Amino acid sequence: MDSFPKITIITPSYNQGQFIEQTIQSVINQNYPNLEYIIIDGGSTDNSLDVIKKYEKYLTYWISEPDKGQSDAINKGLKIATGEIINWLNTDDYYEPNALIKIAEKFLENNNTKVVCARSRLFKNQNETVGFTKGTDIYPNNVAKTIGWARIDQPETFFHRSAIEKMGLLDIELNYLMDRDWWIKYLLFFGTENVVKFSDIVVNFRLHNNSKTVLQREKFQVENDSWFFAFTRQFNCLSYADIIKENLDINEDYLIKKIDWVDQLLVKKTLNYFLLLRANEFYALNDKVKAKIFLNAIDLKLLADEDIQLWKKIYFRNKFILTPIINLFRK
């Protein structure tokens, strides 16, 4: 067991005293033999500090001071982290028993592994299961699709230190999708070859009325669209930029950090997959006008065959099938 790689877990904390004890217990009760556990509290005014102090002998480091938000708090932990494997665990989530052992074993199977992805259980109220994630989306042999449709299940996605050193710290201008920004940067730098995905449940992800995932869902979309708008401008894909700017709610001032060069063909393929995703989402919302705009902007030569078929299906249904009939099919 002494040969297990050091794992650093960072918990950003702010006024979640009703949940944080379960989070802390789930980490220290892993009994992982090479654990570095860091808690960065943003100056909580509830009972969070009492709970943290109760377990401080099990912590490698903790601090409570004002910060600039969740990303800033996590960055404080990243700056002092010394583990080979790193992730963060929010104060409203908790690990399954033996989660870290399972993650470490996957890293140990291949020295080239840079990311390990598992799955999580979604729950609400006291412990009511509402579903399970499928894990971070990876489309083998299609990096552009994996980026353009970027969906990361952060709590169960662990990065090797060597990857983080290339990706850099989290972008503190992002309040909702700092993990997706990280994931996209990873994919741009490394592709999908050294990512391992397995089906075990390692995290319990809490849905509650005050969580960002539940309370501020529309802001996630704004940040996502703003990120891709910045991506179009950074790599001078102005026709794509115009489509996004004219049809989506975005922050035009946002700029992506720490991406100096990317193959231009990969950029264009990625943007076409982003347009296909948004077209599909507008179609699902019965917004036929915007669905058509995004579908017409796509260069089919830059999509894989299976995704051309998806484009054709959406295009046909959006153009020829009346909305009431579509809604009937969906029921």
Residue-wise pLDDT tens digits, 14-54 = 999 999 999 999 999 999 999 999 999 999 999 999 999 99
Q: Strands (DSSP E) along 178-306, which ranges?
A: 195-207
pLDDT band at residue 217 using 50, 70 and 90 as cut-offs: confident
State the Cα–Cα distance between residues 195 and 183, nearest whole angstrom.
11
* Average pLDDT over every residue of 188-213: 87
Query: Number of helices and strands (H, E) in the chain?
Result: 14, 9
State pLDDT tens for residues 188-197: 999 998 999 9
Under 8 Å between Cβ of 100 and 108: no
Q: Are 67 and 42 in contact (CB under 8 A)?
A: yes
